[in-house]
Chains A and B, each alone.
Chain A
Amino acid sequence: MATPGGPRPGNIPPIYTPNSLANKMQELQINQPNLPQSNNPTVGASRPPITTPFGQQPPTFAGTRPGPPLPSAFMRGPVLPSPSGPPSTLSRNVASDRPIAPPPGSQPSPRFTSRPLPPGSLPSSMGGATLSLASGSSPQLGPGPHQQLFASSPLMSGPAAPPPLSTSGPLSNGLPRITPAQLQDGPRFPPVMGSTPRPPPIAAPQPARMLSSGSSSQHPLLRPNFGGPSASASLATAQPGPPSASPQNMTPSPAPSPFSAPIQSVPPSSGSPYGMQTCMSQQQQVAPPPPFPGLQPPRMYGMPPPLPNQSMAPTSPALGHTGAVVTAQSMVDLNHIPRPIPSSIVILHMTRQGNQANPPPPATSDYIVKDTGNCSPRFMRCTINQIPCTVDLLSTSAMQLALLVQPLALPHPSEEPIQVVDFGESGPVRCSRCKGYINPFMKFIDQGRRFICNLCGFTDETPHDYHCNLGPDGRRRDADERAELCRGTVEFVASKEYMVRDPMPAVYFFLIDVSMNAIQTGATAAACSAINQVIADLPDGPRTAVGIATFDSNIHFYNLKRALQQPLMLIVPDIQDVYTPLESDVIVQLSECHQHVEILLESIPTMFQNNRIADSAFGAAIKAAFLAMKSTGGKLLVFQSVLPSIGTGSLSAREADGWRNISAGEKEANKLLQPADKTLKTMAVEFAEYQICVDLFITTQTYVDIASISVIPITTGGQVYYYYPFTALSDPAKLYNDLRWNVTRPQGFEAVMRVRCSQGIQVQDYSGNFCKRIPTDVDLPAIDCDKTIMVTLKHDDKLQDGSECAFQCALLYTNVYGQRRIRVSTLSLPCTTLLSNLFRFADLDTQFACILKQVTSEVPSTPLPQVTEKPKNLCINILHSYRKFCASASASGQLILPEALKLLPLYTLGLLKSCGLQANGRIDDRSFWINYVSHLSTHSAIPLVYPRMIAIHNLDEKEMDDSLIPETVPLSSEHITDEGIYLLENGEDCLIYVGNSVNPDILRKLLGISSVEEISRQFVLQQYDNPLSKKLNNIVNEMRRQRSSYLRLKLCRKGDPSGTTFFSYMVEDKTPGGLSYVEFLIHIHQHIQRKMP
């Protein structure tokens, strides 16, 4: 498709025939070297499809589909053994997460060793990482201690490699003088906070003052410190002098130099960070020396080879107002600042060990779960892995208590499939009072004749045929044989009483915009071609039915009944009060209409080729489709290209007015982010009632008022896909892949979900994409593996210290094979009365995802300045609480971060700078962002605000180990060079930034262009016959696989709007409206200090 001079948006769209498109797909979708075959979807379903959305193989169930439906829809297990090389099998499954791990347990070490830059590992010690901001008021101040700081600061000190880390680690980080402190308490994970605080020796006493004053004479120093019980990393702003040497030039060489000042001693004993050791034991690390988990310094810093490590000098200008301070005399070594360190190592996680809940690995890491009683963290994670006994304790911590539930999350391929339990006619055993489902934490007593519900505490009679004697350990003798008694997640076969009707068939209704714009931009052709290819991927069998309709200012249905010679077009012209034109035959069993559908989809673009109707009756069209689907329910996939301008639920181009208002006075600017009226909402609730889920594929070049129309998918458990500005050249591939993933991913229909909690805790609210009719349940016309629901919790009583608090999520749904199932995930967590435990067991990813979702949900209803205050305050309050109660002994000049939450400020900053919170952003972009967040899974939350960036111009320089993806580069423009090419992805978009002085040879090899000037807005990544290009393609494919998203590729270059876009992702930079990372830390620090007595 990328023929030179090929179609451009304004032109008549190319007509894709399925084959040609398939071929194109081949080009587009970068193939894995070992999978050279075409991704032609038509090749046949029996073979594991080679092309997969996101370059990964489709979820296994695709492969298994032909066979009998397996209990758990997607059984990776069986697939794994397949002979095809590890890459293929693994790759597809890993889908949702992280890079393919080498076989669990294997050491990733080679990579590290090979890495040119052995980065220093952070001096993280157990408790937390402390950043002490010491502002040296006077230059001399700095030099002294700071120098050392510096030395340590690069953090690079520690050899990156995990194994080495353990040894060198201790040495590498921290300030020498701190060491003692660390040593003292470092190794310990002092449960008591009292013990923790050790005033770091250094402490610049006045930093706070200085910072606040902002006078030029003072400059903040960031210096690693021993904050709390754990090691602290202190960032010191130091003078250029001494430190400069080390960080700056260290880049290319495996400079050990930086480490020269190994500071912290991390107790060697401490476990390795998650990343490193894949053993089961690693979780424990948390306890001992958690520091590393987050920070795998090696990669972080190491990677930007060409970067002048933010030498202080260069940084300063960027630092805006504080810059004065900084420039004057202090430098912040950005390398010291906590940054996320993605690990490519696969962690093996057992959900419970020693009858104790095991805190989960970070959501963003790659892990394999062994369900030993608690459900996998994929399905349910709590913001804090120990539950505060009282509400006071929780509020003191300022943290959130919430669950993120992703009931159908895609498992790791190596994980055991979820077991299906069939209780026959009687249905699963449940507590007769709270209706909680039987789970491993229900306690059987009285020789097994009765059991105590772990949720409500009620004692029930064991059903007669379920009775089993207890063993000496007090457990039922059959506990290990019965999945429901030993697994955190099981699926019960739903008995009749769980069905109000027969399980619904899998109905897919495609609704395609054919108005003038859609036709002319090629959106219609792209949609038709994507659907045509995806049809083959729909579940087989008589239960799958499809329907197709198109619309402009009328709605066109098609009678797909086989008896007819050709499809019959049925037009519904009354778009104020729509109806369905046929009782049946609009939705037909796929097996009966396959041919018709193909013919139809091929002819739609030509049929409407000369359409001059610019209006779009979106609301009426979905309503009409709804009427057609009403009797069964199902998925409605809508391809919309313009603003719905006519008929029911039509909208006005209020964006324009909105801008005027904004410029006029900012009043109620957020109104534009709210639905224009209630029509669509009412409609959506009705859809949900009839089990219809709407997914929107918005392929547009204009404003379409996503704020209004996204109400439909949000309410019906659907999702919005946004292709803006749509181009016929590069977007069809993503559209196809998105659509394909949409229909092939594990999913369920007509679902109802409820979360039950142990006594003392109750669900406060649910949020996500669903419809709620009664307070306790959420109705999900459809739910899939990517949808996450946030469940906020509240105390209604005190919890017993030492007891466990259980959460049980039950999802009743119908799978694509028409089986009614109840998936029950139970998570039992210990309760605690210790504040320090809360911080120690805080789950950063989950915490942040909750903050993200909460903040986002307020954007449409609250003025932006207030919205942005919220995450900032949350961050400040949490850190303040920690500072005050858990690290009170440390010097006031230090910013002390709890280890588990040390990245919170960075992510908060990222959030503040994200598109959704930018007042000047396009309304639709913001609305989409808001919508995207509403169902975002935990592991995708962080990439969204803190994208992953890698350098790709030097791919061949690096010896790639088994991890495909090179080390990440911090999101700071200082790490961007004019000679470099960088790839940045956030799970949705993927930007490739080309510096102005890039070596033309590399440019040609990678992108097939000879100069930067040739970069066009439309870009299709192609694979050229050179190793560099292959590597790049592999990387992109791997990323797509990891994200379960095709990633929209855009080329950016400096001096171009695209470059501006790219740099807007540099969250660590100072921007006109936002602080740099360092400034932000300082800012937070000031606030904390102000709050301190």
Chain B
Amino acid sequence: MAASRLPEADLEGIEGVRMTWNNWPRTKVEASKCVIPIAASIQPIRPHVDLQILPYPPLRCKTCSAVLSPYCRVDFTALIWMCPFCYQRNHFPQHYQSISQTNLPAELYPNFPSIEYTIPSYPQNPQNFNTSTTVCPIYLFVLDTCLLEVELDFAKSALKRAIGMLPDNAMVGFVSYGTQVQVHELGFSEMSKVYVFRGSKELSKDQGFCDLLHNEIFLLPASECEYTLNSLLDELGTDQWPVAPGKRPLRCTGVALSVAAGLLGASMVGTGARIIALVGGPCTDGPGSIVSKDLSDPVRSHKDLDKDAAPFFKKSVQFYEDLGKQLVSQGHVLDVFASALDQVGIAEMKVAIERTGGLVVLAESFGHSVFKESFKHIFEDGELSLGLSFNGTLEINCSKDIKIQGIIGSCSSLEKKGPAVANTVIGQGNTTAWKMCGLDRNTSMTVFFDISSNEKSDPSGTNPQLYIQFITSYQSPDGQTRLRATTVTRRWVDGAVGTEDLVSGFDQEVAAVVMARLASYKMEMEEGFDATRWLDRNLIRLCSKFGDYRKDDPSSFTLNPCFSLFPQFMFNLRRSQFVQVFNNSPDETAYFRILLNREIISNAAVMIQPSLISYSFNSLPAPALLDVSSIGADRILLLDSYFSVVIFHGTTIAQWRNMGYQNQPEHQAFAHLLQAPHDDAELIIRDRFPVPRLVVCDQHGSQARFLLAKLNPSATYSNAHEMAAGSDVIFTDDVSLQVFIDHLQQLAVQAS
């Protein structure tokens, strides 16, 4: 991990939970006055050095089925524990008999708020539950063949490498498609055998595969089919159906995915499986089409979507919604690796990918490192492993008065009703349990809470602590069934808004990310939603509520340090790709949002507000202001905006480099200076998924836009004369941070 981010890692801690507010207002009214919603970003299976894995199943409360936690009150003499959520008293079973104050099982240790249990897959036969009875993961590759020869070759070699990296017992299947879908039967020895489905028509569900699959073998352990697959890939050519001039190739991504889903559904329901789709262009045929076959019709843009001028969009989304539902019910994951210069329909597929917890990578070419490295990454083993897990379910128990509105993130609601279900829904709601067909170490999501109690509630001030328990069961990469119980406690804060306690519990980084996620969500869900205005209004309200100022005196405005970074986050969020979608295609936007929703807070924060490090002879590498003024002719800047990592050489540096000084022994230092950002970039890139695009550019070069777009335009053509030499200007009419803050102060101090 990048050294700069090490401290942040700890913020999640063993719990893997970060909240916008760490001290909660007591009442609904007060909560609403807090402006920033009460939300928790959770990382359900976050790896942690201290995490204990217990080789036995958890004890669960008999009424609310909460898992035994350190926050339970335990009566060691009576061997009774009391559930902190429902106050049910539960007896310890026989084998807990020996516990005492000094002999605690791991799950009662207060420093293990998160603990993981291994659940026997075959409870009837507990002796060998965690050994050989593991379930092998299934990988069903779906390859687009409507590609240029060279692109297909890239994709094929990536696939071959991936297959070589799979564990021997992983089951593998292969589907290729173009105008039609070809399901390759790997277990047929006589000759290569392929089932071909037409691309223009959806496979009817009931007919589908069930009749078809008698004894055909489509899935084989990697060790058995590697050779077959490789030779099959060798023979595989690009789609041979002719493409009329002026037309797009017929590409039936939708049917291909639905065939793949059907294939898994026919044989593998409930077993962890992922469909890994390599898509090279827009779907033009059959369900899920996003654009017409005519090249003169461009793929829909945000503008088209706004004006409802994207005739394929809604139908396509509906199709993927259904596909997503099907996959969720089967417990399978859809991963999409899209590599194309144009859009391929991620915007439409997003729903299926997100609901199933799939991965998505958007690149320009299958030969590009973004694809190649990312694709390789998912099959990595060991330290770099993503820890791809399957078939997760998340249950949340919480103290009385806490309601759950829903989750924004890669999961889908299991519609499990309970007292903790809030009336209002955000994201996947109406439930206390969620399905995560696919999840990995970094998977994180945002749970929105609501508080149900009102002023009058229970003055007795019962328990100042509130408890929330996240129970995640999943199939780990090695096939074991695990259950992780994370129990967190937070403090209730009584009294009016603005109290010290409340303020000190504010996590502005989380708040920024949650606001970004919520804004993105609303932009998608609410027609005509104006994100900028919404963000501004909320920021102003927040500042009004929590700022120190004299009314109508902007100069008097100050913010508590707990809030001080927040306005800048909002400033950058307003300018970011999440809100300013018109600079991006709908596919890119969808892609960014999926990642925003599933990344951990620190990474998500970088997406909103990139980090900038400056390298120069004069000083050690140091974080620099995300401002155009940070540009210097004698500096190298390293920008990490999550999706891209930019190494930016100042003019002078670039000149030196072009002259080759770094190769001269007397300029060793220069060589080091040049190298340093590359090494750091390497660190950033290495453990990130998807792999960011690395852009190395020089000042005034065309690629420099990747940096300039992210910088605060404190220097534009309008005030260029004020800038120091060697600096740069950004040609934009966007307001600079300073202008933004000025306005904010003005508005915040106005009487509401």
Interface on A for B, CB 8 Å cutoff? 553-554, 557, 564-574, 576-577, 579, 581-585, 600, 603, 606-607, 612-613
Contact = CB atoms under 8 A, between A and B. Distances in A.
Nearest to B235: A564
Contacts of B235: 564-565, 568
Contacts of A584: 240
B724 interface: no
Contact of A579 (B180, B191, B231): B180
Contacts, number: 67
Nearest to B231: A565
Contacts of B191: 566-569, 600, 603, 607
A292 to B, nearest CB: 65
B180 A603 contact: no
Given A574-B201, A581-B182, A603-B191, 18 more contacts: A554-B195, A567-B191, A568-B193, A568-B235, A569-B194, A570-B194, A570-B196, A571-B193, A572-B197, A573-B195, A573-B212, A579-B196, A579-B198, A581-B180, A583-B179, A584-B240, A585-B240, A606-B190
Interface in B184-205: 188, 190-198, 201, 203
A566 B242 CA distance: 24
A389 to B, nearest CB: 60
9 contacts: A564-B192, A569-B192, A570-B196, A571-B193, A571-B195, A572-B195, A573-B196, A574-B197, A574-B201
A873 B690 CA distance: 89
Contacts of B241: 583
The DSSP consensus for interface residues of chain B is loop
B642 to A, nearest CB: 43
Contacts of B207: 576
B320 to A, nearest CB: 22
Contacts of B240: 582-585
Given A565-B231, A568-B235, A613-B214, A581 B194 contact: yes
Nearest to B216: A571
The DSSP consensus for interface residues of chain A is loop
Contact of A570 (B182, B188, B190, B201): B182
B198 A607 contact: no
A645 B101 CA distance: 75
A607 B190 contact: yes
B737 to A, nearest CB: 58
Nearest to A573: B212
Contacts of A574: 197-198, 201, 203
A612 B214 contact: yes
B214 A603 contact: no
A577 B231 CA distance: 31
Given A554-B212, A564-B235, A613-B214, A571 B194 contact: yes
Q: Which 7 A-B pairs have the closest CB atoms?
A: A581-B196, A579-B198, A569-B193, A571-B195, A583-B241, A568-B192, A607-B190
B198 A577 contact: yes
B201 to A, nearest CB: 6
Contacts of B192: 564, 566-569
Contacts of B198: 574, 577, 579
B242 A572 contact: no
A600 B191 CA distance: 9
B196 A572 contact: yes
A557 B191 CA distance: 12
Contacts of A607: 190-191
Contacts of A572: 195-197
B56 to A, nearest CB: 47
Contacts of A573: 195-197, 212
Interface of B: 179-180, 182, 188, 190-198, 201, 203, 207, 211-212, 214, 231, 235, 240-242
A238 to B, nearest CB: 73
B260 to A, nearest CB: 14
Nearest to B212: A573
Contacts of B212: 554, 573
Nearest to B190: A607
A583 B146 CA distance: 14
Q: A570, A573, A581, A613 — which one has the most chain B CB atoms within 10 A of its CB?
A: A573
B328 to A, nearest CB: 25
Contact of A571 (B196, B203, B211, B231): B196
Nearest to B237: A563
Nearest to A583: B241
B174 to A, nearest CB: 14
Q: A557, A570, A603 — which one has the most chain B CB atoms within 10 A of its CB?
A: A570
Nearest to B184: A568
A358 to B, nearest CB: 57
A540 B277 CA distance: 45
A505 to B, nearest CB: 18
Contacts of B211: 553
A607 B197 CA distance: 22
Contacts of A612: 214
Contacts of B203: 574
A612 B214 CA distance: 9
A603 B194 contact: no
B116 to A, nearest CB: 43
A552 to B, nearest CB: 11
A810 B681 CA distance: 82
B16 to A, nearest CB: 45
Contacts of A571: 193-196
Nearest to A613: B214
Contacts of B197: 572-574
B521 to A, nearest CB: 39
Q: A574, A576, A577, A584 — which one has the most chain B CB atoms within 10 A of its CB?
A: A574
A564 B193 CA distance: 13
A833 to B, nearest CB: 65
A951 B201 CA distance: 64
A493 B75 CA distance: 108
B525 to A, nearest CB: 37
Q: B194, B214, B240 — which one has the most chain A CB atoms within 10 A of its CB?
A: B194
A577 B242 contact: no
A271 B193 CA distance: 71
A569 B232 CA distance: 12
A988 B235 CA distance: 47
Contact of A603 (B182, B190, B201, B231): B190
Contacts of B190: 603, 606-607
A577 B196 CA distance: 12
Contact of B242 (A554, A579, A583, A585): A583
Contacts of A557: 196
Nearest to B199: A579
A565 B231 CA distance: 9
Contacts of A564: 192, 235
Contacts of B194: 568-571, 581
Q: B182, B192, B197 — which one has the most chain A CB atoms within 10 A of its CB?
A: B192
Contacts of B180: 579, 581
Nearest to B195: A571
Contacts of B193: 568-569, 571
A888 to B, nearest CB: 73
B5 to A, nearest CB: 51
Contacts of B179: 583
Nearest to A624: B196
Nearest to A612: B214
Nearest to A608: B190
A607 B180 CA distance: 25
Nearest to A557: B196
A612 to B, nearest CB: 7
Contacts of A585: 240
A818 B212 CA distance: 42
B551 to A, nearest CB: 73
A721 B596 CA distance: 68
Q: B182, B195, B231, B240 — which one has the most chain A CB atoms within 10 A of its CB?
A: B195
B208 to A, nearest CB: 9
A581 B214 CA distance: 21
A585 B182 CA distance: 15
B153 to A, nearest CB: 16
Nearest to B259: A573
